[in-house]
Amino acid sequence: MKTYRISSLTFVIVTLLIMVLPVSRKWRLILHGKKAAGVVSVYKPVVRKNADDAKTLDYASEIRFRAGDSLHVALGPLGLKYKRGRTVGVLYDPDDPGRNCILTLTGLYLSDYSALPLLLLILWGAFYLSFNNYSKFARGADPGTPSGSPRLPPRRRPFWSRFIRR
């Protein structure tokens, strides 16, 4: 029976790709957007509509930034209070400054779509650990042998025998 393994390099590459998922939703802004300095003005309530037209009340920091000659408003991550007067980088679309994103780690990663990468990371970790059966290696089995192999691990000396002189 052939045993499959996932290399450490493959694990790291797939993990990094999963971590880039929330940022990839804003790739057009990252490549073609303009950067502006925004100033946090107030932490205010925001009413949002769900898919089933139910309204929910959340709170977000209001960030004001200049795009050309006009002043625009961006909202920070929901539920995260930035200190008033803090300067935050904002990327915006020059054609439509209403399409913008906050250039902070929380601004890029805290959104409604952050649950998917978290779920994918958990599933990928479980998948990796199931294919790299560490219990076989702990028993001293050869990676090419099936887990039900009759091969026994080498006998080890008891711990206390190291301290007893013969």
Q: How far apart are CA 75 and CA 79, in angstroms?
A: 11
Task: Say whether both 121 and 164 belong to one domain.
Answer: yes
Give the C-alpha separation, 80 to 88, whole Å: 14
- 146 and 76 in one domain? no
**Residue ranges making up the domain that contains 63:** 31-110
CB 47 within 8 A of CB 56: yes
28 φψ region: left (φ > 0), alpha (ψ -120 to 50), beta (else): alpha
Q: For every one of its 166 residues, what pLDDT tens digit does the chain have, with 9 covering 90 and above?
A: 566 778 888 899 999 999 888 888 888 888 899 999 999 999 999 998 888 888 989 899 999 999 988 999 999 888 889 999 999 999 999 999 989 989 888 888 877 777 888 899 999 999 888 877 655 555 555 555 555 555 556 667 776 676 776 6
For 123-142, give the DSSP string. Answer: HHHHHHHHHS-HHHHHTT--
Rounded to whole angstroms, the Cα distance separating 66 from 100 reads 12
Final residue belonging to a domain, choices 71, 91, 110: 110
67 and 122 in a common domain:
no
Residues 87 and 145 in one domain: no
Same domain, 66 and 124: no
